Structure 1
Amino acid sequence: MIPLYKSYQVFLTALSIVGYSSCLPLSEDAICTAEEIAKYSIIFTGKWSQASFPKQYPLYRPPAQWSSLLGVSHSSDYHMWKRNNHASNGVRDFAEKGEAWSLMKEIEAAGEKIQSVHGIFSAPSISSGTGQTTTELEAHSRHPFVSFMVRIVPSPDWFVGADTLNLCNGKEWRQTVSLDLHPYDAGTDSGFTFSSPNYATIPQDTVTEITSSLPNHPANSFFYPRLKSLPPIAKVTFTKLKGKITSFLDIASNVTTTGNEIEENVSETPLDCEVSVWSSWGLCKGSCGSAGVKSRTRYIRLKPANNGTACPSLSEDRECQPENCV
């Protein structure tokens, strides 16, 4: 947990910082009467595996990975980002390019103007789709909410995170809070796939959750029409600590773990084969006076995975009469 006056140090340490909205079923206006200061550890776990998300899974240039985590503890009148609202310029830069400077300035401005921000925290990036990164934060009874973002890399403007998560339960701080995280679209880029080129959404759309059927387009990298809902792509756990928070240098040097060190059962998502439309019928092959044969073909656009529906036939023949016969 870093006080605002040290936020630039956090930025310099986590310059590569490159988000999911969920909050506990508590009113944002709930009054926290617990002890003034609470300290928490945060464990962010990436669960973006090829088994869980086989469609167009990024293997290189760049491979699937997570940006650094950027978060803030605050009061109920501040929102880092909010579902169904337009993303700020800082959130746009963070979600699209992993640039944190504008978002840091927005957080600091909110803290100076309406005193709604208590402090900023960050955690190192994860170099693969699965792995863990950790940090710590400090919450205040007048600022018991936390929000954070982690960019999905590569992606047009997709992220996971939490919006206004309340760590206080009235008279006491919550001991442990765990959230399953799902992908969100910042509404600033129109790309459908992980590797889509940068096409700005004009006019800008609102922040929306990406589901197995939304956007409802087969080109969407998260389009799994057989699933009622996507499996969690990440998870975050907040655990209340006793004693003093670790120093700034300790936080900045937190160690991440790779996917091989995470022992969790991974659900396999079935991916059905996708084929192209049929080509036009070819020329009729045969001799005059007898029936000939013409053919058409199609190709595999997406190979099946995890016991998904197998590919159908890729060629088809039909009887025909040769042309130009007298």
Structure 2
Amino acid sequence: MTKRLKFGCVLWFIFTFVALKYQVLSFRCDRRPYGSMTQPSAPDGRFKLEVVGTEDSYIPGQLYTVQIIATDDKSFFTGFVISAEGDTKVDPKNPRRMIALYPGDLRPQDTLTAKFSDRCLYAVEQAIASTKSSVVVYWQAPESGNGCVILRAMVAENEEVWFQDGSPLTQRLCEDMSQPDDVTPILNFDCQTCDEAKYELTFTGIWSRNTHPRLYPENDWLPRFSDLVGASHDTSYVLWMPDSLVTDGFKDFAEYANSSKLEAEIRENIGSGVRTMIKGKGHSFPKMGKPTYAFFRADKTNHLFTVAVALDPSPDWFLGVTRYELCQDNTWLAERELRLYPWDAGTDSGVSYESANIVTYPQDAVSRVAMSSYDRNSPFYETDMKDLHPFGKLNIKLIRTYHKECVEETTTEEASNETSTTTESQTETTTVEAETGLSEPDEPARYQNTDLASGEGETPLVTDPDSSEYCPLTEWLEWNPCDGICENGKMSGFRWRERYHLVDGVAVEKYDPNVNKNKHAPKKEVPKFCKEHYTDYEIEDCNVDCSDKPKQKQVTAGRRIMDPVAPGHSWTSKKRRVPY
């Protein structure tokens, strides 16, 4: 009998525990006024709960202002409770059980009027029972994937008269599924277009004291945009991506606006995930609003592109798009303009542009820079992305397509023959296009030679942004050392520098060791108009200190000392010089 009694007690305890647990999980917190013994009255419309700036949706992670206001000029209340309830879903571990999703975080705005509730988990209530006609609190919306949230309010005129729920005192908000411009569209894992494409990227900076005045650096000469860096690539390659850790090269890029390591990391993947490295010149004050151009190729396999531009100074903030799909509806995207907002690389915990270096340890994943921040030292204090000016814009434009026949899977021998045929066809097509030059005025030829698949270790040429749209040139190279006669420790002479015309992505007259290996390399010709109106050679007088000691000319067997020649000309051409 004793054993049966003990067994019954255990069963009763288990049943009671489960029942209480179920009640706790499904219990809506008690929001009645302290000391009240009455039931709530039906809302009469004199008090209203509202979320400022939105009616029925929320942007994940954003900060909102929630308020209770009197709709007339003569109604007042003493007590209140504002609570948040999350959506529910089936527990994947137990299909019979429902679990509540996170509803976000409610916080007091003024601790003199509101405090965290002791009775409800996600709620705030009055700090003191003073008479008031309105109250304002903060609500930090949950991250994406938490569905809809219900905000409820209780308003008490006194212990006996109080209201709760109903349409004036309840707001239901669901996640805004629309995405900012700089979030990639859905990837196309089965791109069916066989033609190759050439794209032009144009980055235009907007970050300035006028557009983003809060905590903008005092020194106008300090802010700058780094070089535009990125790649066209396949679906397996990741340069940077939200919720992922960045590489050491990207860390240097985001923190110091130094792209050297990042470019090296991209080059290492050319041919194994990367088709083209993208590079464009960065700008500083007073040219921060000047466009930056870059060009790249895409094909059936490499139909995504990723780029980034670092903000300097900043902790580790940058702009950009990642894994952006160009093969949409199995055709090449014609043109698109994207507005860019800051991302956080997760390596520095600074909160403002000029914050001291604070290493994030352990390293965090890439995420949006904290918008609607509670920190007054943040440029985004109480700023919603909807109210924020973009920091830049990126224009994607299809310049040209190259027709390619789709190759079906065949045997190894047949595939080898087809590859050979395709290569010859491609060479002939390229030759025809090169000979065409600028015959079609609507096709700009300012192509940047950043496709490094055929030139291992070659530094990409950068297009001079000041050159013409139809007559593109590279940036000027460094000045040649001063050349002249040294007398009494002084040399008066001349120095020269050069740049190269770009035709279809090739620097014309620039020595390329790979050309000698290919007897059938097409010859590029600069249009006559470009030669006449845009010089590729500059010379000027120079005066430098020098040594009077004569230099010994080193002559080796089979080699003789020759006079220097004009850049891009044969050894038989006349030397470009001016009289001393």
Normalised TM-score (structure 2): 0.38
The more displaced of 239-248 and 121-130 is 239-248
Deviation at 1:121, TM superposition (A): 1.3
Q: 1:227 to 1:93 in 2, by over 3 A?
A: closer
1:233 pairs, out of 387, 391, 414, with: 391
Aligned to 1:220: 378
Aligned to 1:252: 462
Deviation at 1:126, TM superposition (A): 1.3
Aligned to 2:273: 116
Instruction: Measure the CA separation in 1 of the matches of 2:369 and 2:218.
Output: 21
Q: 1:28 to 1:86 in 2, by over 3 A?
A: farther
1:143 pairs, out of 275, 287, 302, with: 302
The more displaced of 151-160 and 245-254 is 245-254
Residues 124-173 of structure 1, C-alpha deviations (whole Å, 9 max, x = no match): 11113433211211112100100011010111111001110011114310
Cα contact 2:198–2:296 (8 A) shared by 1: yes
Aligned to 1:76: 235
1:189 pairs, out of 345, 348, 358, with: 348
Cα contact 1:211–1:230 (8 A) shared by 2: no
Instruction: Measure the CA separation in 1 of the matches of 2:257 and 2:181.
Output: 18
1:127 maps onto 2:281 in alignment = no
Which AA in structure 2 matches 1:37? E
| 3-state SS, counterpart of residue 291 of structure 2 | strand
Instruction: Measure the CA separation in 1 of the matches of 2:378 and 2:309.
Output: 20
Residues 230-281 of structure 1, C-alpha deviations (whole Å, 9 max, x = no match): 2211100110003766253996133169xxxxxxxxxxxxxxxxxxxxxxxx
Cα contact 1:133–1:256 (8 A) shared by 2: no
Q: 1:256 to 1:224 in 2, by over 3 A?
A: farther
Which AA in structure 2 matches 1:107? I
Which AA in structure 2 matches 1:231? H
Instruction: Measure the CA separation in 1 of the matches of 2:265 and 2:242.
Output: 18
1:242 pairs, out of 393, 400, 403, with: 400
Residues 205-226 of structure 1, C-alpha deviations (whole Å, 9 max, x = no match): 1111125314x31111232447
Cα contact 2:232–2:274 (8 A) shared by 1: yes
1:99 maps onto 2:258 in alignment = yes
Instruction: Measure the CA separation in 1 of the matches of 2:448 and 2:318.
Output: 28
Q: 1:191 to 1:61 in 2, by over 3 A?
A: farther
Instruction: Measure the CA separation in 1 of the matches of 2:188 and 2:464.
Output: 31
Cα contact 1:76–1:143 (8 A) shared by 2: yes
Deviation at 1:39, TM superposition (A): 0.4
Aligned to 2:559: none
| 3-state SS, counterpart of residue 53 of structure 1 | coil
Aligned to 2:80: none
| 3-state SS, counterpart of residue 131 of structure 1 | coil
1:25 maps onto 2:193 in alignment = no
Residues 151-196 of structure 1, C-alpha deviations (whole Å, 9 max, x = no match): 1011111100111001111431011021110001111011111111
Percentage identity across paired residues of the two chains: 28
| 3-state SS, counterpart of residue 182 of structure 2 | coil
Deviation at 1:21, TM superposition (A): 8.6
2:211 pairs, out of 46, 52, 60, with: 52
Cα contact 1:21–1:163 (8 A) shared by 2: no
Instruction: Measure the CA separation in 1 of the matches of 2:466 and 2:213.
Output: 24
The more displaced of 189-198 and 144-153 is 189-198
Aligned to 1:153: 312
| 3-state SS, counterpart of residue 40 of structure 1 | strand
Which AA in structure 1 matches 2:187? S
| 3-state SS, counterpart of residue 252 of structure 1 | coil
Which AA in structure 2 matches 1:187? G
| Equivalent residues in 2 for 1:284-299, closer than 5 Å | none
Deviation at 1:48, TM superposition (A): 0.8
Normalised TM-score (structure 1): 0.65
Q: 1:121 to 1:159 in 2, by over 3 A?
A: same
Moved over 6 A (4+): none
Cα contact 1:66–1:150 (8 A) shared by 2: yes
RMSD: 2.6
From the CA coordinates, give the structure whose radius of gyration is larger: 2
Aligned to 2:43: none
Aligned to 2:201: 42
Unpaired runs of 5+ residues, structure 2, are 1-179, 402-432, 434-444, 451-459, 468-580
Which AA in structure 2 matches 1:172? T
Q: 1:256 to 1:60 in 2, by over 3 A?
A: farther
